[in-house]
Amino acid sequence: MDNQNRGATWPTWLPLRDDLRDQVPYGAPQLEVSTRLNTNENPFGPSKTLVKDLESAISEIGARLNRYPDRDAVELRRALAQYLNQLSDTRFSEVNIWSANGSNEVIQSIFLAFGGSGRSAVGFEPSYSMHHNIARVTGTSWITVNRVGDFVIDVESARSTIAAKKSSLVFLTTPNNPTGTITSINDIRTLGRICAEVNALLVVDEAYQEFSQESSAITLVDEFPNIIVCRTMSKAFAFAGARVGYLVANPAVIEAMLLVRLPYHLSSATQALALVALSYSRELLANVAHLRRERMRIKKELERIGVETLTSGANFFLFQTDDPKSLWKALLAHDVLVRDVGLPQYLRVTVGSPEENDRFIAALSKALGSSATG
Ligand SMILES: Cc1ncc(COP(=O)(O)O)c(C=O)c1O
C-alpha cells in the first residue's frame, strides 16, 4: 500500500483523531529490486549453525505456546546486560534493562511514560523521524534544534533551548540517522548535565552504536540517572525480522516502563530467538567489523569517481548530489534502491554485502555518466 496522505478523504463514519487526519504512515518504499540499500539492514543473514539453533529454540517453545511468555523477559534482559558489560566494561544487571518489540516500541514506551499532552520533547534534526512521529501520536509537542555544519550538534544552542522549553525529554541519536554523525561522549555528558538542571531525560538512541568507535553512552548511566540509552538487535545482530530493542537506564526508569507496557508484550518466540542470537554475539560482531571495512572501501570508490561522502559511524552514509530525486530514480533504473531522506544535497546508502556494494558503485558510475552526458 502506498503511503498516501488521505487528507480530507477519510470516511465520515470513522472517528479518527483530528491530529492524525493529515498524517502519512512511516515507511521506506519496499520495492522488488536486486540491490536494496535503503533501510540500513544488515546484509548478512544468520549462519547455518545459528539458523539450526534458532530452529531448535522454536521447536522447544512450540510445545509451550499455550502459556504466556515471561511477562518481564527477565532472562533476556539479563543476557542483554551481560552482552553490554562485555562490550563496555560496565556492571549492569536486568534491573537496568528494558526490552520490547524493536527499539521503536521502546521509544514509544518512553513517550507513554514521560511525554504526553502538555509535555514536550526536543530533537536535533535532521534525525530519525520516528522520534517526531511517536511524539505526535502520543500528543507530545515536538521542538526542533537544527544541527549545524556537517550535521553536528551546537551544544550552546541546545543549552538555551533545553533551558527555555523545560521539556521532559531530549532525543539525541548517535551515530545519527540519516547523517551518520557521531556525538562525542564529552558532548553527551554535557547534554546530560544540561538536561539534569531542568529535570529532563536525555534519551540517547544508539541503534547503530556497534558500528562506531566512540564509547557508548551506557558508560554514563551510573553517573547520570537521567540518561536513557536505546539500542536494538536489528542492525549489528542482523536481527531486524525478530523485532528486539532494549534500553539501558537507572532502575527507576525500568519501573516506569512496567507501568506502560502491555502485558506479555514480548512473545516467547521473540525472547527465545533473541537469547540464541545473543549467544552468537562474537560471530555477529565479526560481521559488523566486515561492514565497517566495506564502508571505508565504498567511500573511497565513490571519492575516486568524484562523489563526496560524509563521515559516518554507522552502517550507512550520505553521498552528495545536486539532484537527489533524479539520481534516486536513475539508480532505481539500474535496480539499486537507496534512500532519499529529504535532504537537498544528499542521498543515503546502506552498506550492503561486497557484491551489493559493487553493484551500487557500478550503477552510480553509470547514472552519473549518463546524467553528465545529458
Ligand atoms: C536511529 C534509529 N532508532 C531506532 C530504529 C528502530 O529500530 P528497530 O525498531 O528495528 O529496533 C531505527 C531503525 O532504522 C533507527 O534508525
Ligand 1 pocket, residues with Cβ under 6 angstroms: 40, 102-104, 128, 173, 177, 205, 207, 232, 234, 240, 245
Supply the residue whose CA is at minimum distance from atom 12 of ligand 1.
207
* For residue 4, pLDDT beyond 90: no
Walk me through the domains of the chain, giving residue ranges and CATH numbers: 7-47+282-372 (3.90.1150.10), 64-281 (3.40.640.10)
Looking at the DSSP assignment, which residues form a beta bridge with residue 121?
142, 169
Q: Which amino acid residue places its CA nearest to atom 2 of ligand 1?
A: 207
- Give distance in angstroms: CA of 163 to centre of ligand 1: 28
Closest CA to 152 of 338, 345, 298, 311: 311
- Say how far residue 82 (Cα) sits from the centre of its chain: 21
Does residue 370 have a pLDDT over 70?
Answer: no
Query: What mean pLDDT, rounded, does the chain reach?
Result: 95
CA angle 126, 127, 131 (to 5 degrees): 125
pLDDT for res 3: 62
249: closest CA among 76, 121, 99?
99
3-state secondary structure string across the chain = CCCCCCHHHCCCCCCCCHHHCCCCCCCCCCCCCCEECCCCCCCCCCCHHHHHHHHHHHHHHHCCCCCCCCCCCHHHHHHHHHHHHHHHCCCCCHHHEEEECHHHHHHHHHHHHHCCCCCEEEEEECCCHHHHHHHHHCCCEEEEEECECCCECCHHHHHHHHHHHCCCEEEEECCCCCCCCCCCHHHHHHHHHHHHHCCCEEEEECCCHHHCCCCCHHHHCCCCCCEEEEEECCCCCCCHHHCCEEEECCHHHHHHHHHHCCCCCCCHHHHHHHHHHHCCHHHHHHHHHHHHHHHHHHHHHHHHCCCCECCCCCCEEEEECCCHHHHHHHHHHCCEECECCCCCCEEEEECCCHHHHHHHHHHHHHHHHHHHCC
Cβ–Cβ under 8 Å, residues 10 and 21:
yes
Please state, in angstroms and rounded to a whole number, the distance separating the CA atoms of residues 339 and 8: 29
Scanning the structure block, which residue is given the C-alpha cell 542521498? 347
Residue 373: per-residue pLDDT: 38
Calculate mean pLDDT across residues 117-123.
97
Q: Whose CA is nearest to atom 16 of ligand 1?
A: 177
Task: Give the mutation target among 80, 111, 130, 151 for probing the ligand 1 site: most ligand atoms within 8 A of CB.
Answer: 130
For ligand 1, mutation pick of 177, 183, 270 (most atoms within 8 Å of CB): 177
Confidence of residue 192 (pLDDT cuts 50, 70, 90): very high
pLDDT of residue 261: 96
pLDDT of residue 223: 97
Reply yes or no on whether the pLDDT at 372 is more than 90.
no
Please give the number of the atom of ligand 1 that sits closest to the Cα of 245: 11
pLDDT of residue 162: 95
pLDDT at residue number 371: 56
User: β-strands 346-350, 201-205: how paired?
Assistant: unpaired
Going by alpha carbons, the residue nearest to atom 7 of ligand 1 is 103
Q: Which of 110, 133, 235 to mutate to test the pocket of ligand 1 (most atoms within 8 A of CB)?
A: 235
Average pLDDT over residues 64-68: 96
Provide the pLDDT confidence category of residue 7 given band limits of 50, 70 and 90: confident
- Name which of 203, 212, 207 is nearest 184 in CA terms: 212
Show Cβ contacts of residue 255 under 8 Å, excluding neighbours closer than 6 positions. none
- Quote the cell numbers at residue 68: 504466556
Ligand 1 atom with the smallest distance to the CA of 104 is: 9
Mutate to test the pocket of ligand 1, among 39, 234, 312 (most ligand atoms within 8 A of CB): 234
Check whether 35 has a pLDDT greater than 80. yes
6 pLDDT above the threshold of 80: no
